[in-house]
Structure 1
């Protein structure tokens, strides 16, 4: 990455209790996952809404304005985890993820954020939004069909954050905005 640029994304940070529970689950499975599994750090688990990629430093104030505007229009809502999946598929995966139950509020938040980014002229990865929490990455494609899912969990989606992705899977929130509470 060039000097003066940061690898950025907008996401929902997870509450500490859920991150800790998923960290314990990861710990129990780490031996079964075998060699070549890279587990995501529990403290960095998040729900990506829009990946921006390498951005110039001077974009930070504009991105902050986008985050503030979107958070100011959206109410907090509940989310529920819903089983494991894999990219490209569960039977031949390089990525293990935890899915979420369908949520119109989550879809609306992601669409609002992406529309606002586009209107502001801020580029982002245009891949369709697919709600998931990335848990692990694998060096080789493998079947994940036998992995037991973590217990279902409900949590509040009450904050929007602009994160920076740093080397070795370290994700740092640069700015955080509270969603509206009813």
Structure 2
């Protein structure tokens, strides 16, 4: 099974981001937008794992979360990865202070003995709201994204709200032609 560890969004934030996506959609047909119900903060992508490993992963996550208090996340600003000249991902940023970074670090450490290698890239807290599709003619890409990039830049400081993080979730992800379907395997409450 393909799985990942994440923080879910409350409906209020999900609805604000649904509105944002609806405003951005008409600006470029080169973007595959994430369904609002699939929005989440990925803490660790595990990739393929045997289903019988889920209880072991859950146990390790519960050990980690027992040592962490709840914390507040603030969704604000929009941007792109890897850069504005050749964007591949449209995102909304997240601020949390040290609580999220410590939790992420402890999850990485707890997953390594279970056979999941630590991520080589630095952790950047964000919500992926869209993925830019391949454009056959590279010279067309700037034209197809010009209006979108202008709007993304204009929303750098926009606030989408704050929420209390109380748990992390282990998800199974099935890739379908209609998009990813995420199923909750287990939850681990903080502190």
Under a length normalisation based on structure 2, what TM-score does the superposition of the two structures give? 0.83
Once the 2 structures are TM-superposed, how far is the Cα of residue 90 of structure 1 from its aligned partner? 2.9
Residue 138 of structure 2 aligns with which residue? none
Alignment of 1:26-175 (within 5 A): 26-32=21-27, 34-101=28-95, 103-118=97-112, 120-124=113-117, 126-127=119-120, 128-139=122-133, 140=135, 142=145, 144-147=148-151, 148-149=154-155, 151-167=159-175, 168-175=179-186
Residue 14 of structure 1 aligns with which residue? 9
What is the root-mean-square deviation in Å for CA atoms of aligned residues? 1.8
Tell me if the contact between 1:159 and 1:177 (Cα under 8 Å) persists in the aligned partners: yes
Q: Unaligned stretches of 5+ in structure 2?
A: 136-140
Query: How many residues are aligned here?
Result: 173
Tell me if the contact between 1:44 and 1:172 (Cα under 8 Å) persists in the aligned partners: no
Compared with structure 1, are the counterparts of its residues 77 and 102 closer, same or farther at alpha carbon in structure 2 (3 Å cutoff)? closer
Q: Unaligned stretches of 5+ in structure 1?
A: 1-5
Tell me if the contact between 1:51 and 1:124 (Cα under 8 Å) persists in the aligned partners: no
Q: State which structure, 1 or 2, has the greater radius of gyration over its C-alpha atoms.
A: 2
* 3-state SS of paired residue (1:20): helix
Under a length normalisation based on structure 1, what TM-score does the superposition of the two structures give? 0.87
Tell me if the contact between 2:109 and 2:118 (Cα under 8 Å) persists in the aligned partners: no
Which 4+ residue blocks in structure 1 deviate beyond 4 angstroms? 141-144
Once the 2 structures are TM-superposed, how far is the Cα of residue 102 of structure 1 from its aligned partner? 5.2
Deviations 1:6-26 (A, max 9, x none): 111111111111111111211
Structure having the higher helix fraction is 2
Structure having the higher strand fraction is 1
